[in-house]
């Protein structure tokens, strides 16, 4: 799986990134093949989100995304927020129709997704009225509904409880060929991905298959 | 879960309309019903001759036809600046004591009367002097400033106040912990109000004060469209460049220049002031009665009921009908206008064009818009509805458009109409409704101006009373208008609270 | 210069405080609203002011006003001592200022007329009396306080139909201005309108009217209209015989350039009693309290 394919899906060569004069990433070289499931781990501020964003930009048109700020429209229902994952696939008139009167076909499709996320009861609740965990699952729902081959998630289950997190992550990895997640929960990262990329102060300090790693191997990442 | 939802109201598992949408729909349906009964007939047969002249005038503006143009422009700006400075100062003082019910009621009453009516009242008292113009702006604006300033203070972050050392004096606490946070909001709001004041100042020209409205009205009434176009263009430029010239450091300079160069000549006679208040505005039956007895009382009752049934009541009906339809029209146009200046939809070039369009639409006084539309469609309520909707739609559209500038979107957000309907509009909708409900009473006040053009709102009857020099009737009708405004204000506040719309806005 | 500015500043501060400032007793102020062409009022009437100043030997100033009501208010509040009023506004002003007199009128004003005009699509034809067919049409007056555009036409309508205009017509408007009345009827926005006959004639001459679209259907009987009125205390303030001097100056105004501002051929003597018919009509239709 780690053999150097000549055409990786995502590739960074010695990339750095700066924000407000501070170095967020420095000298990152990383290749990700189609089919890989990668977790980006590290302390907060290590550069996970920045790295995720750089990778996402390479596949922006094709990939599904759960950004850290979720990007939900609070005034719209869960249904609409999830449906938004396919706005680009349908004509505007149809989108408008769905805004005013949700079509049964779409409702059923979205309902199936909410069921897998344990959100069915909230299908027509407004996003602004949901708890943090429910909002996060709604954002994941939108990404799932997009039906993309590649999934990017920036801490997609940080507010979801342990048990549900597993269901959500399972739904994500089951439905996408390639998955890149930034995560702070090492246990979940080990359980749902096959490659761990560790960051510390903007540098890539670890890049190994999950099967070679134990939770304790990652302790260094969280030590100052 | 499913069983409990039957008790707890509508389940979130089935489609439901948000309260905001339901409220919008209610207002929309009401407006549609009113449209059915309102007089919106198009009666004009061949407006093209006059419209041709108008079009020709617009493309051939004549900047030299207006006498005393410089003085008129200067007066327009000077009245606005002095009016806003006085209004905001009084407003600030009133805001500090806004927790007293009496102060709140007082402010509500003074802002419930349109500046045009204040102008007409002060014209009787102070004549055609700058004092009339300045007070006509400063008084209603003080009421508005007081309300908004107090809301800004109320909603400023309470944390600094709580963290002050105990024993800090009230004034120090206010100056250190509350004012600094509020000051930038005050500044933004005052700048917005200055733009409004420029419009008010121009509008006061319609009743004779020497601003550009004076010449604009004459030019439009008599078909001097080249002259009118020149005046409007200059006015647009003043409004469009307001951020350039309205700087805080320059305010003392502007005030000084205004005080020196405004035409303060003319005299104010205290005896006329007294006559106005002790004679002119006393209801006619009381004024002519020798003794106050049962006959006088029944004459007074007859005077009031005649006035109420013959003028106030039909006036109220027209005012409300016009207001409700124009309010919904405003909302629809706002949703159409705001993308024009939003970076979410247009690039720099497109946005600049949008800005120019919105400045033109919102700076053209409703009175002038109505005059033009009147030529096009004839004298029904339609020109007034469209003029009010255009004018207010452009104002709120501008504010909402600016609001979208700071809106953060996901990197994978939708494009085009999908972006409009799914991302931007739902996000701005609560803000939009709040602006609209704030604007409700303003729209109602503005129907007054259109009364002068013969649209039979309360403003029409008030203007007639002034034209007939029957100030007792004018005051009676103004009082009724104010009450109606207070009613709308209270209703709007209640609806905003019900819909949990943000109570304070930096503008509107 | 700076001293001058400072003085102005002090003066304005005083006015701003609302303190009564004594009028410049020596300045005689007048106002006038012509029945058409309200542009460049100042330029035109400052010439009249210069003429009056030469004749009267006092400083004369003109101030422009927007409406008849504003003119009456200024007259009443002593901001102007002399005014060129319409028939109705003159009556109103003289009622409010005791001792004030009408001293002159335009030659045309002793027998003024209102023309009822109609859009040609109405099929209304010129008639010797007010055509009954105008009932049910849309109708516009001029400004609310105008004699020729409001008072007299309303009087004749009430006389012909024994009912208020709002009952006679399907819609009643106030154009605010004679020129505008013509424009509105010509465009068909209103079917019928009432307009000052002089304005009609002048606009016809100027080619602003398309006879294929709008024409006169009835001419009212004659009535007295515009007049010069002066305050009753003028003699006391400007010297004995001042009122008479003003009257003479007005009657002797022969320069067509000055007269065209009003526009009148010449001025002739007038008195308060000449306007009794206007007062009666005003009270009859309820525009004036008794």
Query: Is residue A52 situated within a structural domain?
Result: yes
pLDDT tens column, B285-344:
888 888 888 888 999 999 999 999 999 999 999 999 999 999 999 999 999 999 999 999
Interface present between A and C (3 or more CB pairs within 8 Å): no
CA B326 to each of CA B366, B383, B388, B494: distance values in angstroms, whole numbers, following the listed order: 12, 10, 6, 20
Distance, CA of A207 to CA of B271 (rounded, Å): 93
The more confident residue out of B348 and C24 is: B348
Asked if residues B224 and B37 have their Cβ atoms less than 8 Å apart, the reply is no
Q: Which residue of C has its CA nearest to B379?
A: C189
Chains A and B touch (3+ CB pairs under 8 A): yes
Do C101 and C123 lie in one domain? The reply is no
Residues 6+ apart with CB under 8 A from B336: B393, B397
Give the model's pLDDT for residue B164: 62
What pLDDT score was predicted for residue A18?
87
| Smallest Cα distance from C142 to chain B, Å | 11
Q: Is residue A200 a part of any domain in this protein? A: yes
**What length is written for chain B?**
508
Spatial strand order in the sheet of C214-219: C171-174, C138-141, C192-196, C114-119, C214-219
Q: What is the DSSP string of B77-127?
A: HHHHHHHHHHHHHHHHHHHHTTTSHHHHHHHHHHHHS-HHHHHHHHHHHH-
Same domain assignment for residues C142 and C94: no
Question: Which residues make Cβ contacts (< 8 Å) with residue C235, sequence separation at least 6?
Answer: C241, C242, C243
B434 neighbourhood in chain A, CB within 8 Å: none
- The verdict on A16 and A109 lying in the same domain is no
The minimal CB distance from C74 to the residues B127, B217, B463 is found for: B127
The dihedral through the CA atoms of B349, B350, B351, B357 has a sign that is positive
Q: Is C176 helix (H, G, I), strand (E, B) or coil?
A: coil
C147 and C183, same domain (yes or no): yes
- Phi, psi (rounded to 5 degrees) for A123: -50, -40
Query: Residues of A with CB below 8 A from B412's CB?
Result: 60, 63-65
What is the helix, strand, coil percentage profile of chain B, to 5?
75, 0, 25
What's the confidence (pLDDT) of residue B168? 67
CB–CB contact B427 A65 (8 Å): no
Chain A interface disruption, residue of B2, B5, B12, B404, most A CBs within 10 A: B12
Mean pLDDT of chain B: 87
Q: Choose the mutation target among B1, B412, B418 for the interface with A, i.e. most A CBs under 10 Å.
A: B412
Q: Supply the Cα-derived Rg of chain C in whole angstroms.
A: 21
Q: In Å, how far from its chain's centre is CA B367?
A: 13
| Better-scored residue on pLDDT, B379 or C263 | C263
- Chain B partners within 8 Å of C189 (Cβ): 43-44, 47, 374-375, 377-379
**Which chain B residues have a beta carbon less than 8 Å from that of C23?**
266-267
The CATH number linked to A210 is 3.40.50.300
d(CA B199, CA B211): 10
* In a shared domain, residues C67 and C33: yes
| C100 and C16 in a common domain | yes
Which tokens is C25 given?
A: 């007793």
Statement: residue A223 has pLDDT above 90:
no
Q: Could you tell me the two tokens for A28? A: 């990152």
Quickly count helices (H) and strands (E) in chain A.
7, 8
What is the average pLDDT across A124-151? 92
Q: Is the pLDDT of residue B173 over 70?
A: yes
What 3-state class would DSSP assign to B285?
A: helix
Angstroms from B186 CA to nearest CA on chain A = 29
Higher pLDDT, B271 or C14: B271
Q: Which residue of B has its CA nearest to A82?
A: B422
CB contact under 8 A, B466 and C69: yes
Residue after which a domain boundary falls, among C219, C236, C253: C219
Residues of chain B positioned with their CB less than 8 A from the CB of A147: none
**Span C172-194, average pLDDT:** 91
Please count the other Cβ atoms lying within 10 Å of the Cβ belonging to residue B350: 15
- Residue A96 inside a domain? The answer is yes
* C-alpha to C-alpha distances, B56 to B49, B224, B227, nearest whole angstrom: 11, 11, 11
CB-CB under 8 Å, B49 with C213: yes
Mutation site for C-interface testing, chosen from B70, B75, B126, B127 by largest number of C Cβ within 10 Å: B127
- Cβ neighbours of residue B238 under 8 Å, at least 6 residues apart? B73, B76, B77, B198
Are B379 and C72 within 8 A, CB to CB?
no
pLDDT tens string B64-73: 888 788 999 9
Question: If pLDDT is split at 50, 70 and 90, which confidence band does B508 have?
Answer: very low
Cα C251 from chain centre: 18
- Bridge partners, residue C194, by sequence: C116
Are B316 and B425 in contact by the 8 Å Cβ rule? The answer is no
> Quick one: C59 and C193 in the same domain?
no
pLDDT at residue C23, as a whole number:
43
* CATH code at position C178: 3.40.190.10
Are residues C208 and C256 part of one domain? no
The H or E element containing residue C49 is helix C41-56
- How many Cβ pairs within 8 Å bridge chains A and B? 79
B interface with A, Cβ–Cβ < 8 A, is 1-2, 11-16, 18, 20, 408-418, 421-423, 426-427, 429-430
The alpha carbon of residue A69 is apart from the nearest alpha carbon of chain B, in Å, by 8
| pLDDT value, residue B503 | 52
Measured between beta carbons, which residues in chain A are less than 8 angstroms from residue B421?
92, 95-96, 99
**Which member of A99, A121, A125 has the closest CB to residue B422?**
A99
Domains in chain B, please, with CATH?
A: 17-46+284-508 (1.10.3720.10), 56-280 (1.10.3720.10)
The tokens of A208 are what? 């190994």
CB contact (8 A) between residue A79 and residue B429: no
C8 and C97 together in one domain: yes
**In the structure encoding, which two tokens stand for residue C168, read together?**
């006679």
Residue at a domain's end among A147, A181, A207? A147
Say if residue A59 is in the same domain as residue A78: no
Average pLDDT over residues C241-259: 95
The answer to whether B289 touches B301, Cβ cutoff 8 Å, is: no
Is A8 within 8 Å of chain B by CB? no
* Shared domain check, A30 and A56: yes
Q: Are residues C182 and C235 in the same domain?
A: no
B480 pLDDT tier (thresholds 50, 70, 90)? very high
**Phi-psi category of B289—alpha, beta or left, where left has phi over 0 and alpha has psi -120 to 50?**
beta
Give B303 to chain C, closest Cα distance, Å: 12
Nearest Cβ partner for B222 among C38, C42, C79: C38
- The minimal CB distance from A60 to the residues B412, B416, B429 is found for B412
Q: Which residue of B has its CA nearest to C22?
A: B267
Last residue of a domain, one of A84, A119, A147: A147
Q: How far apart are CA B46 and CA A39, in angstroms?
A: 74
pLDDT of B28: 97
CA–CA dist C172, C263 (Å, integer): 29
pLDDT for position B270: 77
Inter-axis angle of helices B115-126 and B458-467, to 10 degrees? 10
Q: What is the pLDDT of residue B506?
A: 45
- Asked if the structure places residue A68 within a domain, the reply is no
Mean pLDDT of A121-135: 91
Q: C14, C144, C190, C233: which to substitute to probe chain B, counting the most B Cβ within 10 Å?
A: C144
Confidence band (pLDDT; 50, 70, 90) for B166? low
Mean pLDDT of B241-269: 83
pLDDT exceeds cutoff 70 at A52 = yes
Quick check: B257 and B251 in contact, CB under 8 A?
Answer: no
Whether B227 and B219 have beta carbons less than 8 Å apart is answered as yes
C-alpha gyration radius of chain B: 24
pLDDT tops 70 at residue B1: no
Choosing from C174, C196, C219, the residue where a domain stops is: C219
Question: Average pLDDT of B22-27?
Answer: 94
- In terms of DSSP bridges, do strands C82-85 and C227-230 run parallel, antiparallel, or are they unpaired? antiparallel
Do residue A182 and residue A153 come from a single domain?
A: yes
Q: Identify which has the larger pLDDT, A3 or B119.
A: B119
Phi-psi region of B223 (alpha: psi -120 to 50; beta: other; left: phi over 0): left
Structural domain harbouring A104: 73-147
Q: Round to whole Å and give the CA distance between B161 and B289.
A: 60
- Residues A165 and A208 occupy one common structural domain: yes
Please count the structural domains in chain A. Answer: 2
Share of chain A above pLDDT 90, in %: 58
How buried is A132 (Cβ within 10 angstroms: 0-12 exposed, 13-18 middle, 19+ buried)? exposed
Same-domain check for residues C10 and C102: yes
Residue B469 to chain C, least CA–CA distance (Å): 7
pLDDT tier at B265, thresholds 50, 70, 90: low
Paired tokens of A162: 């342990």
Q: Identify whether residues C213 and C123 lie together within a single domain.
A: yes
Is C290 within a domain?
no
pLDDT given for residue C40 in this prediction: 79
* Judgement on whether residues A154 and A223 belong to the same structural domain of the protein: yes
C-alpha pair distances (Å), B172 with each of B14, B89, B99, B158? 55, 20, 20, 15
All residues of chain B having their beta carbon less than 8 Å from the beta carbon of residue A67 are: 410-411
CA-CA distances (angstroms) from residue C9 to B260, B264, C253?
5, 10, 39
Neighbours of chain B (3+ CB pairs under 8 A): A, C
Decide which of C166, C185, C219 is a domain's last residue.
Answer: C219
Name the A residues in 42-61 with CB < 8 Å from any B CB.
53, 56-57, 60
DSSP H or E stretch at residue A183? strand A178-183
pLDDT for the residue numbered C21: 39
Q: How many domains is chain C partitioned into structurally?
A: 2
Confidence at residue B15, expressed as pLDDT on a 0 to 100 scale: 75
Give the pLDDT confidence score for residue B114 in this predicted structure.
92
> What was the ipTM of the complex prediction?
0.84
Whether A15 maps to a domain, the answer reads yes
Closest CA to B78 of B241, B264, B214, B254: B254
d(C-alpha B484, C-alpha B316), whole Å: 8
Q: Determine, yes or no, domain membership for C289.
A: no
Residues A204 and A158 in one domain: yes
Least CB-CB distance to A120: which of B13, B408, B413?
B13
Q: pLDDT at position C8, please?
A: 54
C-beta atoms surrounding B366 within 10 Å: 26
Mutation site for B-interface testing, chosen from A68, A71, A85 by largest number of B Cβ within 10 Å: A71
Q: Is B146 buried (19+), middle (13-18) or exposed (0-12) by CB count in 10 A?
A: buried
pLDDT in tens, B109-133: 999 999 999 999 998 888 888 999 9
Chain B partners of A69 at a C-beta cutoff of 8 Å? 408, 410
Minimal CA separation from B437 to chain A, in Å: 18
Contact criterion met (CB below 8 Å) for C27 and C61: yes
Residue B261 pLDDT class (50, 70, 90 cuts): confident
pLDDT at A138: 95
What residues of A are in contact with residue B413 (Cβ under 8 Å)? 71
For A76, the closest of B12, B408, B426 (CB atoms) is B426
- Contacts of residue B414 in chain A, CB cutoff 8 Å? 84, 87-88
Q: Tell me: do A113 and A219 sit in the same domain.
A: no
- Flag whether A11 is in a domain: yes
Contact, A50 vs A24, CB < 8 A? yes
Question: Are C106 and C236 a contacting pair, CB within 8 Å?
Answer: no
> Residue C213's closest chain B neighbor by CA?
B46
Task: For residue B383, give the chain C residue with the closest CA.
Answer: C189
Q: Using CB atoms within 10 A of its CB, is residue B118 exposed (0-12), middle (13-18) or buried (19+)?
A: buried
Residue C15 near residue B129, CB atoms below 8 Å: yes
**Percent of chain B, pLDDT > 70?**
94
Structural domain contains residue A175: yes
Q: Which strands form C101-106's sheet, in the order they lie side by side?
A: C59-62, C27-32, C82-85, C227-230, C101-106, C267-269
Q: Where is the domain boundary, A117, A147, A177?
A: A147
Is the pLDDT reported for residue B177 higher than 80?
A: no
Q: What is the pLDDT of residues B400-430, one digit of tens each?
A: 999 898 888 888 888 888 999 999 999 999 8
> Sign of the C-alpha dihedral, residues B165, B167, B170, B171?
negative
Question: Which among B12, B415, B429 has CB closest to A124?
Answer: B12
- Mutation for testing the B interface, residue in A121, A136, A153 having most B CBs under 10 Å: A121
Query: What mean pLDDT value characterizes chain C?
Result: 88
d(CA A151, CA A141): 12
Average pLDDT over residues B2-31: 72
Is residue A66 within 8 A of residue A153, CB to CB? The reply is yes
Per-residue tokens: C280: 């009666």
Residue A126's beta-bridge partner residues? A77
Give the neighbours of chain A: at least 3 Cβ pairs within 8 Å: B
pLDDT band at B384; cut points 50, 70, 90 = very high
Nearest residue, CB atoms, A73 vs list B1, B13, B423: B423
At residue C30, does pLDDT exceed 50? Answer: yes
Tokens of A11: 């590739």
CA distance B27 to B19: 12
For the residues C51-70, what does the mean pLDDT come to? 92
> What length is written for chain C?
290
| Beta bridge pairs of residue A208 | A196
Residue A99 touches chain B, beta carbons under 8 Å: yes
Long-range CB pairs of C278-281 (<8 Å, 24+ gap) are: C278/C87, C278/C88, C278/C90, C278/C91, C278/C147, C278/C151, C278/C223, C278/C224, C279/C91, C281/C151, C281/C152, C281/C155, C281/C223
Residue C210 is part of which domain span? 113-219
- A124, B413: Cβ pair inside 8 Å? no
User: Is 80 exceeded by the pLDDT of residue C17?
Assistant: no
């Amino acid at each position: 799986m780690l053999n150097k394919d000549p055409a990786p899906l995502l590739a960074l060569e010695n990339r750095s990134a700066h924000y407000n004069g501070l170095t967020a990433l420095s000298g990152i070289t990383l290749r990700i093949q189609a089919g890989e499931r990668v977790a980006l781990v590290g302390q907060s501020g290590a550069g996970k989100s920045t790295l995720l964003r750089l990778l996402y930009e390479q596949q922006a048109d094709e990939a599904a995304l759960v950004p850290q700020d979720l990007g939900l429209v609070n005034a719209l229902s869960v249904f609409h927020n999830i449906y938004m994952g396919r706005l680009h696939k349908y004509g505007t008139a149809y989108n408008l129709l769905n805004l005013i009167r949700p079509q049964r076909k779409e409702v059923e499709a979205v309902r199936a997704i909410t069921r897998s996320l344990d959100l069915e009861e909230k299908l027509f609740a407004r996003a602004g009225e949901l708890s943090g965990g429910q909002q996060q699952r709604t954002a994941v729902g939108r990404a799932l509904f997009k039906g993309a081959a590649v999934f990017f998630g920036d801490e997609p289950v940080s507010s979801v409880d342990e048990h549900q997190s597993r269901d959500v992550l399972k739904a994500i990895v089951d439905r996408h060929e390639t998955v890149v997640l930034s995560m702070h929960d090492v246990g979940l990262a080990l359980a749902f991905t096959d490659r761990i990329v560790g960051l510390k102060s903007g540098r890539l300090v670890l890049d190994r298959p999950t099967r070679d790693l134990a939770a304790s191997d990652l302790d260094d990442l969280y030590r100052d | 879960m499913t069983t409990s939802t039957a008790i707890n109201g509508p389940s979130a598992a089935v489609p439901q309309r948000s309260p905001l949408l339901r409220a919008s729909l209610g207002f929309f349906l009401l407006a549609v019903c009113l449209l059915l009964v309102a007089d919106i007939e198009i009666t004009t047969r061949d407006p093209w001759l006059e419209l041709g002249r108008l079009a020709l005038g617009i493309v051939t503006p004549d900047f030299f036809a207006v006498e005393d143009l410089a003085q008129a422009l200067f007066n327009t700006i000077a009245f606005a600046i002095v009016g806003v400075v006085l209004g905001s100062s009084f407003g600030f003082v009133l805001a500090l004591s806004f927790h007293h019910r009496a102060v709140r009621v007082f402010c509500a009453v003074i802002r419930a009367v349109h500046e045009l009516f204040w102008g007409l009242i002060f014209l009787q008292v102070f004549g055609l002097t700058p004092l009339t113009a300045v007070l006509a702006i400063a008084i209603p604006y003080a009421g508005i400033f007081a309300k908004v300033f107090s809301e800004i203070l109320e909603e400023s972050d309470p944390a600094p106040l709580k963290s002050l050392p105990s024993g800090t004096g009230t004034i120090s606490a206010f100056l250190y912990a509350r004012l600094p946070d509020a000051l930038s909001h005050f500044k933004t709001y005052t700048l917005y109000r200055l733009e409004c004041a420029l419009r008010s100042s121009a509008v006061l020209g319609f009743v004779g004060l020497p601003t550009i409205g004076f010449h604009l009205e004459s030019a439009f009434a008599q078909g001097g469209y080249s002259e009118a176009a020149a005046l409007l263009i200059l006015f647009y430029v003043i409004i469009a460049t307001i951020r350039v010239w309205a700087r805080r450091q320059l305010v003392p300079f502007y005030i000084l220049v205004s005080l020196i160069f405004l035409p303060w000549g003319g005299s104010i006679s205290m005896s006329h002031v007294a006559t106005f208040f002790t004679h002119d505005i006393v209801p006619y039956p009381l004024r002519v009665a020798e003794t106050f007895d049962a006959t006088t009382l029944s004459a007074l009752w007859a005077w009031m009921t005649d006035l109420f049934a013959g003028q106030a009541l039909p006036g109220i009906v027209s005012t409300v009908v016009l207001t409700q339809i124009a309010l919904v029209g405003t909302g629809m146009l706002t949703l159409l206008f705001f993308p024009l200046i939003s970076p979410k939809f247009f690039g720099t070039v497109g946005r600049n064009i949008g800005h120019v369009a919105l400045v033109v639409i919102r700076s053209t006084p409703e009175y002038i818009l109505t005059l033009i539309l009147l030529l096009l469609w004839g004298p029904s309520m339609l020109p007034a509805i469209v003029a009010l909707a255009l004018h207010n739609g452009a104002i709120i559209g501008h504010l909402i458009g600016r609001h979208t500038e700071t809106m953060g979107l996901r990197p994978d957000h939708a494009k085009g109409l999908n972006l409009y309907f799914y991302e931007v509009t739902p996000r701005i909708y609560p803000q939009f409704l709040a602006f609209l409900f704030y604007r409700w009473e303003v729209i109602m006040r503005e129907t007054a101006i259109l009364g002068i053009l013969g649209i039979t709102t309360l403003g029409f009857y008030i203007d007639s009373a002034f034209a007939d020099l029957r100030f007792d009737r004018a005051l009676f009708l103004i009082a009724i208008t104010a009450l109606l405004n207070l009613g709308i204000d209270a209703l709007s506040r209640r609806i905003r609270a019900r819909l949990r719309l943000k109570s304070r806005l930096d503008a509107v | 210069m700076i001293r001058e500015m400072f003085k102005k500043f002090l003066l304005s501060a005083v006015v701003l405080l609302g303190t009564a400032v004594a009028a410049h007793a020596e300045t005689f102020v007048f106002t006038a609203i012509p029945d058409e062409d309200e542009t460049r009022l100042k330029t035109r009437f400052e010439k009249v002011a210069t003429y009056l100043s030469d004749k009267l030997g006092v400083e004369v100033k003109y101030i422009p006003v927007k409406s008849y009501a504003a003119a009456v208010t200024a007259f009443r509040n002593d901001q102007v001592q002399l005014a060129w009023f319409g028939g109705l506004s003159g009556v109103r002003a003289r009622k409010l200022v005791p001792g004030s007199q009408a001293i002159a009128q335009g030659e045309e004003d002793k027998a003024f007329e209102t023309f009822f005009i109609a859009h040609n699509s109405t099929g209304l034809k010129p008639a010797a009396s007010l055509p009954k067919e105008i009932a049910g049409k849309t109708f516009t007056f001029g400004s609310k306080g105008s004699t020729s555009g409001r008072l007299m036409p309303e009087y004749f309508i009430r006389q012909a139909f024994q009912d208020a205009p709002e009952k006679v017509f399907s819609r009643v408007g106030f154009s605010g201005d004679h020129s505008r009345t013509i424009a509105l009827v010509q465009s068909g926005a209103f079917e019928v309108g009432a307009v000052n006959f002089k304005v009609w004639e002048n606009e016809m001459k100027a080619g602003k009217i398309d006879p294929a679209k709008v024409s006169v259907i009835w001419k009212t009987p004659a009535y007295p209209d515009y007049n010069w009125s002066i305050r009753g205390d003028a003699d006391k303030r400007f010297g004995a015989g001042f009122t008479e001097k003003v009257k003479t100056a007005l009657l002797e105004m022969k320069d067509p350039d000055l007269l065209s501002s009003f526009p009148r051929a010449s001025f002739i003597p007038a008195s308060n009693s000449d306007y009794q018919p206007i007062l009666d009509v005003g009270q009859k239709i309820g525009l004036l309290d008794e």
